[in-house]
Amino acid sequence: MTPNALPRRLTSTIIIALAFGAPAWAKTPVASGTGGAVATISEPASQAALAILDRGGNAVDAAVAAAATLGVTDPFSCGVGGGGFMVIYLAKENRVITLDHREVAPAAFRSNAFAPDGKAIDFDTAVASGMAVGVPGTVRGWHDALERYGTMSFKQVLAPAIKVAQDGFKLNDNFVALVTENEKKFALFPETAARYMRDGKALPAGTLLRNPDLANTYRLLSSGGVKAFYSGKLAQAIIDSVNRPPVAAGISVRPGQMALADLANYEARWRQPVRSTYRGYELVGMPLPSSGGVAIAEALNILEGFDLKSMPREKAEHLYMEAARLAFADRNAYLADPEYVDAPVAGLVSKEYAARRRELIDPTQARHHAQPGDPYLFQQDPSVPLRPAAAAKARLLSESAHTTHLAVSDKDGNIVAYTFTIESWGGSGITVPGYGFILNNEMTDFDFSGPHPNVPEAGKRPRSSMSPTIAFRNGKPAFTIGSPGGATIVTTVLQTIFNHIDLGMDMPSALNAPRISERNGQATSIEPGFAGSVQAKALERFGQRWDASAEEIGAANAIVFNPDGTVTAVSEGKRHGVGSALVQKRGH
């Protein structure tokens, strides 16, 4: 996969009636009202979350219910075979906590795993392998979130997803196109091919797809809890699939080296969020090993020094792109798992460092490539000898664009912004036989060779771009935003915030505006129809240039907390078959 490749985000949009009295109104990407709210890219997932809210569950309960249902309807972007990041706002305590349940490298993983002879192996070869699979964290994350901050059990919150998996849902054109894109990879693994293909080709649109194996996996979790995943028969099945991938006859893929102890010892991490301010808002995001919270804070700090509202739109957008370029230069150079790397986070998010970086921007001309700065000068304690011998070389690396994001709030004001993934579309391609879920290929999020902070190491979490974010104003929640899209997640969240705050767009307009993803590459990623537009031509006068390929970027979801006490859930209005926004009590 090339660095700027952004495969389409595809999802089922079939409405499935659930038990629990879920509302039956038509699917819509925007909904306003009172009580709880949910925004996802999948109607069944949004319905599942709302059903849990209507039964008295809180935002954490509903988020897990939505996530489990997405594991059924969006099996190629997320599921129990992967991991994620959850940002939780606790209204009564008026505080935010983040839950890192990112996959980790097995204990036997080595730094040269993807470059055994000093030369990096082919990316696609690395993806479709047991070696690419990290120790899954999703189930541990769900358990820890429910145990500490939820009110319901696995049995209660998994019930909607079990029903969807058991009863099935009809495949639409987008789902079929996704399988078609992955026919070569899926054909390597008979368990995956049998579920999603016939005679080597994708199942046709309109097919009712059931996944009784996944329903049984969820039932196993309902009765046995988190231990049922990380030990016992299911754990052994995962280990067998990683170390001896179940491939088609005559096929060979690289095996992994995962042990039962890797699963038994997996731990999620409760971490303090990254905090920054921007034009009267406080932004709270995901800390390392996500690069999103830090990169977004740095870019916004750079932009804060410009009077963007007084400028023509094209000049403001040029500055947005240049700020993103600088932030990505630093992100690529310094950020990685905080348990392995002393990243200069305090320096990167400081206003003083942003002022220094801002001086490098030409308001009239694009740079095209930025070098990383020296944030160590701006650490809170400059006496700490953290500076490396030489700054790591900045680079733009492949990072898969296949993830999902959901947002949930409840009647008490609690909020969950949750992004989780199995990495590439269809992850490693390996379905665990008899259990109905695909294993991740998260290890390919490491840099294949070094020196670099993000090289593979045993027990390490690969750097991510997932950026679930909650914004506050005057101490109260203002909005939450997040998206899938690999490294473009950072720019999707950043641009949506920029559109909303600086360009004055309401959230639906901010979210649906054409996306421009500048990640310090040779050209800027754009969406179909943007090249040749008036907006594009205006930016070209600043020297901005576009990637030759154009594909949809991200699939964002947001919730806005209005001053009058109502909430507005916002999902995609045109991308990916249109998203699903629901509220408990609709406004008139």
Residues recognised as catalytic? 403
Residues 75, 72: Cα–Cα separation, whole Å? 6
Which tokens in the block code for residue 169?
A: 């849902």
CA atoms lying within 13 Å on the CB side of residue 70: 33
Distance CA 417, CA 398 (A): 25
What tokens does 532 get? 């040749």
Name 33's bridge partners: 567, 586
* Closest to 445 in 3D by CA, of 424, 425, 416: 424
Burial class (CB in 10 A: 0-12, 13-18, 19+), 389: exposed
One DSSP character per residue, 239-307 reads HHHHHS--PPTT---------HHHHHT---EEEPPEEEEETTEEEEE--TTBSHHHHHHHHHHHHTTS-
Query: Rounded distance, CA 190 to CA 195, Å?
Result: 9
Task: Write the CB contacts of 546 (distance below 8 Å, at least 6 apart in sequence).
Answer: 523, 524, 525, 526, 530, 531, 536
Closest CA to 374 of 398, 363, 390: 390
Give the C-alpha separation, 517 to 490, whole Å. 9
Strand partners, 141: none
Which has the closest alpha carbon to 422: 144, 108, 136, 171? 136
The neighbour count for residue 93, using CB atoms within 10 Å, is: 9
Phi, psi (deg, nearest 5) at residue 49: -60, -45
C-alpha 194/C-alpha 178 separation (Å) is 16
Cis peptide before 289 (omega within 30 of 0): yes
Residue 575 CB coordination number (10 Å): 22
